[in-house]
């Protein structure tokens, strides 16, 4: 039996065995940061501010901006000397948006979220009769309800409906509100205008709606909106779970996970943090 000790691997051998990071072009990466600074700004920026936000000197920023200006990617205001995105950036943005399928992006995100949390999830769009389920991801824990594709949700008593109610113009929701309240009035549980305003204000503050058994007795729900590049609501993503589980569980981690997912989908659709109001 040999007693020869194995020599430790040399630095060359160790580095060869380690996975290599892909090399890129640093100047391109810096250029993207410069353009991203202008994309995130709400107004044209002075040269010094572009450099500061991009993490480079003003002279470096000027060289990038000059090159980008030659291709119409950025523009410089002749009166103020400030910089903003140019027509080429607009063309690229429109092209990217036209190739982004909101349903595909939302569906993939919903699937990943539900698998991570092991919860049932849906997403709904606004249809002729109100919030309509168009995607469903079931968990191992069956809910024991007939909710599924094509289900229509009320705007006043479901988490999904209340999110639409908060972010859609009143002209789109007022008739459904009237009809639902007519039915609820006969049951002695009408929701008046003052209450609706308070409900919408709470949802705007929290970023989502939470309901426990108001629509389906045995089911609790957390629902959050997905916005497009214009700030319009396009989808509501909802997590569903048994009411008794919801009552015994801290909702905060679920709410944070849902909001992180809907925010990421919204940003993929070009959303910049501004939304339309239901008062519009």
pLDDT grade for 243, boundaries at 50, 70 and 90: low
Is residue 189 in some structural domain? yes
Is residue 13 in some structural domain? no
What is the 3-class SS of 127-180, one letter each residue?
Answer: ECCEEEEEEEECCCCCCCCCCCCCCECCCCCCHHHHHHHHHCCHHHHHHHHHHH
Domain that holds residue 43: 25-95
Q: What is the pTM of this model?
A: 0.65
Same domain, 89 and 195: no
User: Which of 95, 116, 149 marks a domain boundary?
Assistant: 95
The domain tally of the chain equals 2
Same domain, 119 and 30: no
Say yes or no to pLDDT of 11 above 80: no
Same domain, 211 and 162: yes
Is residue 185 in some structural domain? yes
Same domain, 118 and 205: yes
Same domain, 238 and 166: yes
Same domain, 155 and 218: yes
Same domain, 83 and 124: no
Is residue 280 in some structural domain? no
Say yes or no to pLDDT of 275 above 70: no
Round to whole Å and give the CA distance between 261 and 113.
7
Round to whole Å and give the CA distance between 138 and 83.
49
Same domain, 151 and 52: no
8 A C-beta contact, residue 259 and residue 215: no
The pLDDT score that the predictor gives to residue 207 is 95
Tokens 């919030």 correspond to 131
The residue that leads in pLDDT, 212 or 46, is 46
- CATH (domain of 226): 3.30.450.40
| Average pLDDT of the residues of the chain | 82
Same domain, 72 and 186: no
List, for residues 161-189, the tens digit of each pLDDT value.
999 999 999 999 999 999 999 998 888 88
Supply φ then ψ for residue 19, to 5 degrees. -65, 135
Is residue 15 in some structural domain? no
List, for residues 46-77, the tens digit of each pLDDT value.
999 999 999 999 999 999 999 999 988 999 99
Is residue 7 in some structural domain? no
List, for residues 79-122, the tens digit of each pLDDT value.
999 999 988 887 776 666 555 578 888 889 999 999 999 899 99
The number of beta carbons lying within 10 Å of the beta carbon of residue 73 is 22
Same domain, 170 and 257: yes
Same domain, 83 and 153: no
Is residue 54 in some structural domain? yes
- CATH (domain of 49): 1.10.10.10
Is residue 278 in some structural domain? no
User: Which of 95, 121, 152 marks a domain boundary?
Assistant: 95
- CA 98 vs. chain centroid, Å, equals 18
Same domain, 132 and 176: yes
User: Which of 71, 95, 119 marks a domain boundary?
Assistant: 95
């Amino acid at each position: 039996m040999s007693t020869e000790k194995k020599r430790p691997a040399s630095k060359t051998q160790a580095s060869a065995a380690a996975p290599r990071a892909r090399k890129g072009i640093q100047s391109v990466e810096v250029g993207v940061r410069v353009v991203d600074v202008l994309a995130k700004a709400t107004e044209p920026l002075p040269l010094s501010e572009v450099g500061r936000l991009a993490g480079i000197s003003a002279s470096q920023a000027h060289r990038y901006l000059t090159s980008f200006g030659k291709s119409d990617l950025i523009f410089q205001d002749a009166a103020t000397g400030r910089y903003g995105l140019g027509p080429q950036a607009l063309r690229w943005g429109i092209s990217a948006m036209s190739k982004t399928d909101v349903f595909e992006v939302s569906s993939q995100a919903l699937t990943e979220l539900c698998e991570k949390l092991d919860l049932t999830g849906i997403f709904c769009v606004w249809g002729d009769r109100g919030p309509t389920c168009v995607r469903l991801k079931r968990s191992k824990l069956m809910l024991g309800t007939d909710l599924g594709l094509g289900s229509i949700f009320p705007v006043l008593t479901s988490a999904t409906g209340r999110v639409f109610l908060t972010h859609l113009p009143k002209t789109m929701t007022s008739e459904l509100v009237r009809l639902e309240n007519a039915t609820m009035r006969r049951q002695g549980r009408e929701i008046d205008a003052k209450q609706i305003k308070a409900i919408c204000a709470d949802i705007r503050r929290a970023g989502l709606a939470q309901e426990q058994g108001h629509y389906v007795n045995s089911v609790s729900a957390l629902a959050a909106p997905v916005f497009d590049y214009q700030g319009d609501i396009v989808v509501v993503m909802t997590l569903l779970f048994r009411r008794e589980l919801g009552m015994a569980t801290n909702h905060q981690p679920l709410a944070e996970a849902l909001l992180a997912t809907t925010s990421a989908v919204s940003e993929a659709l070009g959303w910049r943090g501004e939304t339309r109001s239901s008062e519009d």
